Amino acid sequence: MKSGRLLLLIMIITVLVTGVVAAQDETVLVIGHAESTDSLDPARGYTQTKDIIDHVTYENLVTFPQADASEILPMLATDWTISEDGLTYTFNLRGDAVFSDGSPVTADDVAFSVNRLKYVQGSPSFLAADIASVTADDADTVSFTLTQINPAFLANLANTAFGVVNADVVRENGGSDAEDAATADTAEAYLNGTSAGSGPYLLESWEPQVETVLVRNPNFYGDAPYFDRIIITNIPEAATQKVALESGEIDLALDLTSDQIAPLEGNPAISIYRGPGNIVHFLLMNEDPDIGGPVSDPLVQRAIRLALDYEGYQALWGGVQPGSITFVGNAYAFTPEQGVKRNLDEARALLAQAGYADGFDITLEYPIFTFQGVNMETNAQKIQADLAEVGINVTLSPAELQVALENYRTGAEGFGYWFWGPDILDAIDMLAFLPGGKVADERALWTPDRADAALNDLVARARVATDPAEREEVFTALQASMQENSPFAPFIQPDVQTAFRSDIEGYVWHPQWLLDVALLSRSM
Amino acid sequence: MTFFRYIARRVLFTIPILLGITLVSFLIANAVPADPINVNLPQSQLNNPEIVAAFRAEWGLDKTPVEQYLTYLGNLAQGNLGRSIKTRQPVAEDIARFLPATIELATNATALGIILGVGLGVASAVWRNQWIDFAARTLAVIGVSVPVFVLALIFLSVFHAQLGIAAGPGRLDFTMDEPAMLTGLFTIDSLAAGRLDIFANAVAHLVLPSLVLALYVAGLISRVTRSSMLEVLGMDYMRTARAKGVRESLVVMRHGLSNALIPILTVIGLSYGNLLAGAVLTESIFAWPGIGRYMFRASTSQDFPAIMGVSLLIALIYVVVNLVVDLLYYFVDPRIRAN
């Protein structure tokens, strides 16, 4: 009996070992991720998990560069034109793209996908709300008519919600692009089980809350990605992701916090990616003299921008100095080199000119909060030290997040420290910080009637300009103007961090889809 | 015949219990001062009254609470637990998908806990106030008092990541395919499919989470076993048995343990029910796709149908486990049989 058990044990071990060896024939990448999605249907899911998966299983008309949102690049469309009135966009398709079943990607598929997105009333459908109509002019030409000018329209089209689905296949499986698609479309279950797109990968299976498996799309018309199979396994606890990464069970841990990444430093089996994210930390100075006091004075505002030790914040958090209020990597955004340079003499001169030669006392309000590893308290102390050098005596006034938010949102804050993550990956996002925008109007009380006419004109142009040359001119002028005169002082765009096994190559963080698994490979 | 009448009576009693549970969980879920709309719709849709109205109608949130409850009971009578707001799947299907993982873990952990707990408890009673007693009692205190998430993380990083002698998170290696679905218990399904490699892998992955939960269970069981055994060991009939020359091992196990079993069974039943109701923290840390994690997600997203379904399931589990324990009393204790 005992020898029988031993035999069984040996058998088990043998099978186990051979099983492992056999599995190594194909290239497999295992990603640990706290899964967050309720749908992988391009028209219904609106989560980070869905973006990671749909980004490689579907393709869009246009896309962003690999690492940022600095420009709009062709994808399924080779080129496009925008009508004079900015309301009609016409795209020419590349013609050689095929879906995973081998059938060509046509203008009909695009029209079907967009109408379906618009009418299923899924979470991302609002992105298509300003599309009045979309029509296939011929097999390779599709045109959109908008209800109103939207300069961020192309950026919206790069969202995975606009991933082009194989219309025939989706129709066969219950899909509908009719106005009653909210009830008539029943293709979600199908699209949660497999993908119907033209991306480099194919969704093999999704077991919600357990794992998602992607395999190479055999009919992909572009360069084949490195990995045969990608397994995204749901590990809700970041601490468990860390353990699984250390043991080599997963190749990439997507949800580690920076204090979990720090101890991995020096582990030769693990590499850490660091690159600027898309969060900008800034100071807010209220334009209302009754609320802002001395910092409502434009000269003082400029002096404060000149007094900040930009390099010091990078020493703390990595990252870059934002060139302006919008993140480096956004379209038309100023580069770090174009940012404000520290100049204490000029700052002191400006303060003297404003009547504060001996400085002044001010209270800085901010939340007790750590975001993506950046502790706001640490920054607040550094701001205090920086401004002391030009004679501004800052008293720190931290508050619980909800309390501080209330003051910030109602515009009751005189001098505050906050951060901003873009709502839209387009230059238009910075309009929130200009007169007429949310942050400017409601929080800094920098309303159009407090701004000069020239600036208001520029803002008005920025809202409707669709021509790239004109957009560049307008947004450059706006950013330059904000360096001279505005109630905001952006000072750091910290790094984001991701940890993975050292043999994984090609990792890049992206502000839209977080991670492009098709770019990854394993070194020999 | 009295035995079957006893069972029938107990089963009948469960109906009002389950009804009560539906009412209580419905009231609690509705008493939460938050609108499920806010958790389940993105901001952009919240601004659109049409979408909000459609969502309310779809999930019956536009009806009065009394109507909602009666509709739920009506569906329940037909075996329909409703559809989860979060996963958009029938709740019954979700439960069928997540429960087997929990059953597999809870059963293993309880079995391990019984072996450890009863063994330690008996040993500490027999060798009272000797080193083995102190060791067992210390272990029991550690088992019950160290939070499971701490134990789980320590075990994972020591035995898995550093020493490499135990399998890591998940029910299987992440690169391994699941066995064809039969019972949902991977150990059984893999054997049924003749896949010894999957079986071995599933067993390996069960070790750490089972051990973490078993330490807690063993802590409870060993304390109860010890005190119950001490009581029995002092009884006159024990002395009589020894005087008759019965072997010591037989005295302890047959005359001692079997008479001390009733409170031990009660604790085992309660802790098994507890583990089946989902060990949220252990399941999260070990990436174990069980009912505990499902329930946690449902409650944080105010997924009413899922919350109600899981509450009902948990109540049912407790009722069944208690019934089984009561039946075991019947077999263990002749006095209950006599009554």
Q: Does this complex have an ipTM over 0.90?
A: no
Question: pLDDT value at position B38?
Answer: 67
A217 belongs to a structural domain: yes
DSSP output for A468-513? HHHHHHHHHHHHHHHHHS-SEEEEEBPEEEEEEETTEE---EETTT
Residues A201 and A290 in one domain: no
Question: pLDDT value at position A9?
Answer: 52
Task: Confirm if A121 and A113 have CB atoms less than 8 A apart.
Answer: no
Residues A362 and A460 in one domain: yes
Residues A215 and A297 in one domain: no
What is the C-alpha separation between A201 and A53, in angstroms, rounded? Answer: 9
Residue A237 near chain B (CB below 8 Å): yes
Please name every residue paired with A283 in a beta bridge, in sequence order, or none if there are none: A417, A489
Q: How many CB contacts within 8 angstroms connect chain A with chain B? A: 96
Range of the domain at A53: 29-248+499-522
Residues A212 and A113 in one domain: yes
Q: What is the pLDDT of residues B212-247, one digit of tens each?
A: 999 999 999 999 999 998 888 888 888 888 888 888
For residue B62, what are its two tokens?
Answer: 């536009």
Q: What is the CATH number of the domain that holds A107?
A: 3.40.190.10
A8 belongs to a structural domain: no
CB contact set of B264 (below 8 Å; sequence gap of 6+): B118, B121, B221, B224, B225, B228
Residue A229 region by backbone torsions, left for phi larger than 0, else alpha for psi between -120 and 50, else beta? beta
Q: Mean pLDDT in runs of 10 for chain B (339 residues)?
A: 77 85 83 68 64 73 82 83 80 90 94 94 90 91 89 91 88 88 90 91 94 92 91 85 83 82 90 86 91 86 83 87 85 75
Find the chain B residues whose C-beta atoms sit closer than 8 A to any C-beta of A. Answer: 41-42, 44-45, 48, 51, 54, 86-89, 98, 153, 156-157, 160-161, 164, 168-170, 173-176, 196-197, 199-201, 284-287, 289, 293-294, 297
* Structural domain total, chain A: 2
Q: pTM of this prediction?
A: 0.83
What is the C-alpha separation between A242 and A499, in angstroms, rounded? Answer: 9
| Cβ-nearest to B161 among A11, A231, A246 | A246
Question: pLDDT value at position A15?
Answer: 46
Q: Judging by DSSP bridges, how do beta strands A280-285 and A488-492 pair with one another?
A: antiparallel
Residues A357 and A417 in one domain: yes
A263 belongs to a structural domain: no
Residues A427 and A300 in one domain: yes
Residues A451 and A392 in one domain: yes
Residues in A closer than 8 angstroms to B55, CB to CB, are none
| Cβ-nearest to B86 among A38, A210, A234 | A38
Helix, strand, coil percent values for chain A (each to nearest 5): 40, 25, 40
Residues A453 and A516 in one domain: no
Closest chain A residue by Cα to residue B42: A123
A260 belongs to a structural domain: no
Question: pLDDT value at position B40?
Answer: 66
Q: What is the CATH number of the domain that holds A432?
A: 3.10.105.10
A99 belongs to a structural domain: yes
Residue A123 near chain B (CB below 8 Å): yes
Question: pLDDT value at position B260?
Answer: 86
Question: pLDDT value at position A227?
Answer: 96
Residues in B closer than 8 angstroms to A239, CB to CB, are 153, 285
Question: pLDDT value at position A123?
Answer: 82
Question: pLDDT value at position A14?
Answer: 47
Residues A35 and A51 in one domain: yes
A39 belongs to a structural domain: yes
Residues in B closer than 8 angstroms to A249, CB to CB, are 168-170, 173-174
Question: pLDDT value at position B101?
Answer: 93
- Inter-chain CB proximity B175 and A211 less than 8 Å: no
Q: How many CB atoms lie within 10 A of CB B325?
A: 20
Residues A176 and A84 in one domain: yes
A266 belongs to a structural domain: no
For residue B33, what are its two tokens?
Answer: 């001062």
Residues in B closer than 8 angstroms to A236, CB to CB, are 284, 287, 293
What is the C-alpha separation between A192 and A154, in angstroms, rounded? Answer: 27
- pLDDT digit of tens for each residue in chain A (524 aa)? 344 555 455 544 444 444 444 445 789 999 999 988 889 999 998 888 999 999 999 999 999 999 999 999 999 999 999 999 999 999 999 989 999 999 999 999 999 999 999 999 888 888 998 999 999 999 999 999 999 999 999 999 999 999 999 999 999 999 999 999 988 999 999 999 999 999 999 999 998 888 999 999 999 999 999 999 999 999 988 889 999 999 899 999 998 888 889 889 989 999 999 999 999 999 999 999 999 999 999 999 999 999 999 999 999 888 999 999 999 999 999 999 999 999 999 999 999 999 999 999 999 999 998 888 889 999 999 999 999 999 999 999 999 887 888 889 889 999 999 999 888 899 999 999 999 998 999 999 999 999 999 999 999 999 999 999 999 999 999 999 999 999 999 999 999 989 999 999 999 999 999 999 999 999 97
Residues A379 and A506 in one domain: no
Residues A343 and A401 in one domain: yes
A344 belongs to a structural domain: yes
Find the angle CA(A423)-CA(A429)-CA(A433) to the nearest 5 degrees. 110
Closest CA–CA distance from residue A151 to any residue of chain B (Å): 19
Please name every residue paired with A93 in a beta bridge, in sequence order, or none if there are none: A77
